Amino acid sequence: MSTLVIRSQHVLIAGELCPAWIAIRDGIVAAIGVPEELGTTSDIVDFGDALIMPGLVDTHVHINEPGRTDWEGFATATRAAAAGGVTTLIEMPLNSIPATTTVEAFRTKVADAQGQLAVDVGFWGGIVPGNTSELRGLYEAGVFGFKCFLVPSGVPEFEAVGEPELREALPVLSAIGAVLLVHSELPAPVAQAQLEVRNENPRRYLTWLRSRPRSSENEAIAMLIRLSQEFDAQLHVVHLSSSDAVACLRRARVSGVKITVETCPHYLTFAAEEIEDGATELKCAPPIRERSNREELWKALLEGSIDFVATDHSPCPPEMKCRENGDFMRAWGGIASLQLSLPAVWTEAQQRGARIADIARWLSAGPARLAGLRRKGSITVGKDADLVVWNPDAEFSVDAATLYHRHKLTPYEGRRLRGVVQTTFLRGEKIYDQGEFPAQRAAGRVLRRGEA
């Protein structure tokens, strides 16, 4: 097979931006060099001043197929990913029917995904009451780890677990070495808060915010730290919103507790004070909190107390967002942003002094590490040639018509963002190029743990 060489003045190699070329053979980075070493090669693609970075890895995506494909599906979600520079995503085990809580359901999902993927996709398995006996089989079949909820998930097929179920599952996970991702809100503080706001106006954002207090996150995380220690289990807090929990997590990690944490672009972008009544496109759980909380999350991310950023892309049919009456308490909780994570995070990050290397750590290397994706997450000889070529100085206004998600409702609509994705390569193949999808077939693969 022939060698493709691409080059630019700004390639992110080992945490530094430098002029470089990348030689790609059989979808793998075969060599990296400086311009002077580049002899006469037939096939050079020169990206000039554009920036070349490892393709993004998003470990928190809800695709909902099969079963709720009218919410989002493999074909639409992975095209949105490609257009956003995301080359690998790991799909959440719920919202599809069946949920990925049995080996049988995992096989169904894999079969459904085949042939539809524009980018590489792996799967998390789910932990629900009564499925402990499935966990080992799921892990051997290729899920990358597991996810559970401590509060109702929003769909009946994926029930929440409590401490008793975790005490049953964690010895198994610890024995097989699998990570557990946890939606970290405890039900008791939420139930109490919901009682307190039951007569408040459901169109007001403050009503929703008050119904999901920080204490439910803080107490859940305290419990997870305790359980991680007791069972020597690897735990991961998904979509951290309450900045109060950062100090607690930092202390635990310093003392060797195996716990990691992600936050999402929306917690780093929006602030409760700015959310208008009825703007249910901004509803998610845990909720977007105050401006001061956002700044604390940024501080934690910049200092490394938060490991990385994942989207929690979780769309639904627009009518379920209750935009007509703006009822925050009834609307589906979930924010669509898979295609926008790079510009959304970069826009805020560069105002706070972050560098491109930070962006790659938060959106590529960090999530790749969580999932154990050894072939992804950096531009390194021997790894997959997954690359995003983008312009960090160009700005654009988000236009729903240019989004490839199944449903276009997103709180980023109309927002001015910095950072335009130009071209995306998956294993050396151009899968997105300035509004076009040049790949002749669906170039993405189903990834299984151990093979990826």
Is the CB of residue 240 less than 8 Å from the CB of residue 217?
yes
How many residues touch Zn ion under the rule CB under 5 A: the total is: 1
- What minimum distance in Å lies between the beta carbon of 60 and Zn ion? 6
Contact stretch for Zn ion (CB under 5 A) within 7-15, 124-132, 136-144, 312-320: 312-320
- What minimum distance in Å lies between the beta carbon of 251 and Zn ion? 26
Binding of Zn ion at residue 91 (CB under 5 A)?
no
Applying CB under 5 A, among 296, 312, 348, 358 the residue interacting with Zn ion is 312
Q: What is the DSSP letter of 65?
A: T
159 versus 312: smaller Cβ distance to Zn ion:
312
Distance in angstroms (rounded) separating the CA atoms of residues 139 and 93: 13
231 versus 270: smaller Cβ distance to Zn ion:
270
Contact stretch for Zn ion (CB under 5 A) within 279-287, 311-319, 406-414, 426-434: 311-319
- What minimum distance in Å lies between the beta carbon of 241 and Zn ion? 12
- What minimum distance in Å lies between the beta carbon of 397 and Zn ion? 27
Beta-strand pair 44-46/28-33? unpaired
- All residues at 6 or more sequence positions from 215 whose CB lies less than 8 Å from its CB, including other chains: 189
Residue 13 three-state SS: strand
- What minimum distance in Å lies between the beta carbon of 310 and Zn ion? 9
Binding map of Zn ion across residues 364-403, x = CB under 5 A, - = no contact = ----------------------------------------
266 versus 383: smaller Cβ distance to Zn ion:
266
Q: From 38, 55, 53, select the one nearest 376 (Cα to Cα).
A: 55
- What minimum distance in Å lies between the beta carbon of 284 and Zn ion? 8
238 versus 388: smaller Cβ distance to Zn ion:
238
Contact stretch for Zn ion (CB under 5 A) within 137-145, 307-315, 418-426, 433-441: 307-315
- What minimum distance in Å lies between the beta carbon of 62 and Zn ion? 6
- All residues at 6 or more sequence positions from 415 whose CB lies less than 8 Å from its CB, including other chains: 397, 398
Is the CB of residue 265 less than 8 Å from the CB of residue 337?
yes
The crossing angle, in degrees rounded to 10, of helices 163-176 and 214-231 is: 40
Does residue 66 have a cis peptide bond before it, meaning omega lies within 30 degrees of 0?
A: yes
Distance in angstroms (rounded) separating the CA atoms of residues 24 and 30: 5
**Sign of the four-CA dihedral 160, 163, 169, 172:** positive
**Sign of the four-CA dihedral 92, 79, 348, 422:** positive
296 versus 312: smaller Cβ distance to Zn ion:
312
55 versus 126: smaller Cβ distance to Zn ion:
126
Q: From 311, 356, 365, 346, select the one nearest 416 (Cα to Cα).
A: 346
124 versus 404: smaller Cβ distance to Zn ion:
124
Query: Where do contacts with Zn ion occur on this chain (CB under 5 A)?
Result: 312
